Chains A and B, each alone.
Chain A
Amino acid sequence: MTEHTAHLARVPGPLRLFWRALKAIIWKDLAAELRSRELLSAMLVFSLLVLLIFNFALELDAKTRSTVTAGVLWVTFAFAGTLGLNRSMATEKDRGCLDGLLLAPVDRSAIYFGKASGNLVFMFIVEAIVLPVYSLLYNTNLLYPGLLLVILLGSIGYVAVGTLLASMAVQTRTRDVLLPILLFPLVIPVMIAAVKASTGFLEGIAMVDIRPWLNLLVVYDIIFVAVAFMVFDFVVEE
């Protein structure tokens, strides 16, 4: 240890190191995206195109509209989310940066939570733009607090599983194809629950009928965040 690097010997505790690493990864993802705008622009353009296609394809009357809104929204979020998840991990893999992250002397679950949080932020940004655009195109009010809660819970579940699977898929040559093939079957419960709960709020169904779907979303989120926390280390190590 040289004299001028003696200050490097002070090592923060594991929990503090965990939080610093988690925040650093979120900051890095946002800063890089602010410069390149690769990920968000791809997700947004794709989402808006899906909405436009649905708009022309379905030609819905006002009554039918409320029954399909939730489906259209969640299909859009799921497809755009897959694009984002793929891109987010590909950026790490292409220049070997995933190895750079894994070499840090930090609990590797910090890497998972950092990447998942970044992905969640991107997902929320896309959703915050898609919702008003959908409202304009379909002349439907979507600003229900209940619907926003469903979107929050559904997005957490989707990103929790998606980030874990994207870390697996990115190690393979067929990562672009592999991620949706692995992801969509696993997120069926979250998609069904999110669509049912969203439709419930949009149609003004009683809370007692919506609550089971909300509970399913919460349980799904907890289970898959916990599973990812436990297995991420094994997923990323050869």
Chain B
Amino acid sequence: MIIVRKLIKRFGLKAVLRGLDFQVEQGEFVALLGPNGAGKTTFLRILSSLSRPTLGEVQIAGYRLPAQSAAVRRKLGVVSHLPLLYGDLTAEENLRFYARMYGLESESRRVSEVLELVGLTPRRRDLVRTFSRGMQQRLAIGRAVLHDPEVMLFDEPHTGLDQDACVMLDQVLSEVAARGRTVVMTSHDLARAADLASRFDVLSRGVIAASVQRSQINPNDLLAFYRQAVGDGKAPASAAPVTMEQPA
């Protein structure tokens, strides 16, 4: 579903991604872990066609980036730590607006379905700026699944949420994954990643430094696995992955 080969991204002279290889099969839920500055957000922005790769090959659902970016965007749902919602519009108006941007037919029906999915039907006519952070994030997920995308990208979706909101978000994330979508989620929260993901990749210094399937690691060992992959934070991470299993 997602194939990335030798991906390089430079901002001026600074290389953020340095020949990254990454592959995700349909229906997988990959947690992309890594320290601040590792390049997780940059990587997700390239996958979501918001940023152009400097070099390398990116394919999503059979379409190449950046050449076929509009076709890729139709297959993608993206949730970042910002809600991408308009505070002066109601929840329903926000979804209706994005439904039009995606050219959806029968938009009213779909908007109602999505509001129900994220549990915001009772607040559908309230302005988004009156919503709590957790409600905004649920609506942001609603916006991202509006066109029923095959691939979902989550960029630290738990950032700024309290515990209750995180639990609610996890329920929505589980439901999204249960529908067979391919999910890539960046996170600093190993415990939440362990609960949700089917595979854990560690991105460090611009490459995938390690990768392991959930079935092959005890969740209690995830922190040790992560630390081993990231290294001590001074020496560059090994170019050779410390993988228990390489992605196919």
A interface residues with partner B (beta carbon < 8 Å): 1-2, 4-5, 7-8, 10-12, 16-17, 20-21, 23-25, 27-28, 31-33, 35-36, 91, 95-97, 99-107, 237-238
Contacts and interface: CB of A to CB of B under 8 A. Distances in A.
Given A2-B148, A35-B127, A104 B101 contact: yes
A238 B51 contact: yes
Given A27-B97, A96-B80, A32 B86 contact: yes
B74 A100 contact: no
B87 interface: yes
Given A32-B88, A100-B143, A105-B71, 20 more contacts: A8-B148, A12-B103, A17-B103, A20-B100, A21-B101, A23-B100, A28-B89, A32-B89, A33-B88, A35-B88, A95-B86, A96-B80, A100-B84, A100-B85, A102-B50, A104-B98, A104-B102, A105-B103, A107-B70, A238-B51
Interface stretch (B29-37, B104-112, B205-213, B220-228): B104-112
B147 interface: yes
Contacts of A23: 100
Give the most central of B71, B85, B87: most A CB within 10 Å.
B87
Nearest to B128: A95
B134 interface: no
Contacts of A91: 86
A108 to B, nearest CB: 8
Give the most central of A23, A31, A104, A237: most B CB within 10 Å.
A104
B93 interface: yes
A105 B50 contact: no
20 contacts: A5-B110, A11-B103, A20-B103, A21-B101, A21-B103, A24-B101, A32-B88, A32-B89, A35-B89, A95-B85, A96-B82, A96-B84, A100-B143, A101-B101, A102-B50, A103-B78, A105-B102, A106-B103, A237-B52, A238-B52
Nearest to B42: A238
A40 to B, nearest CB: 13
B50 A103 contact: yes
Given A32-B88, A103-B78, A7 B105 contact: yes
Contacts of B103: 11-12, 16-17, 20-21, 105-106
Contacts of B104: 8
B39 interface: no
Contacts of B127: 35
Nearest to A13: B103
A157 B110 CA distance: 39
Contacts of B102: 104-105
Contacts of A4: 113
A122 B93 CA distance: 21
B83 interface: yes
Contacts of A99: 50, 78, 80, 82, 84
Given A8-B110, A238-B50, A238-B52, A100 B98 contact: yes
A27 B101 CA distance: 12
Contacts of A16: 103
B14 to A, nearest CB: 13
A32 B86 CA distance: 8
A106 B82 contact: no
A102 B82 CA distance: 14
Contacts of A5: 110, 113, 148
B45 interface: yes
Given A99-B82, A104-B98, A2 B179 contact: yes
A17 B127 CA distance: 27
Contact of A95 (B48, B50, B82, B98): B82
B73 interface: yes
Contacts of A2: 148, 179
Contact of B50 (A7, A10, A28, A237): A237
Give the most central of A4, A24, A91, A107: most B CB within 10 Å.
A24
B85 A97 contact: yes
A35 B70 CA distance: 32
Contacts of B147: 8
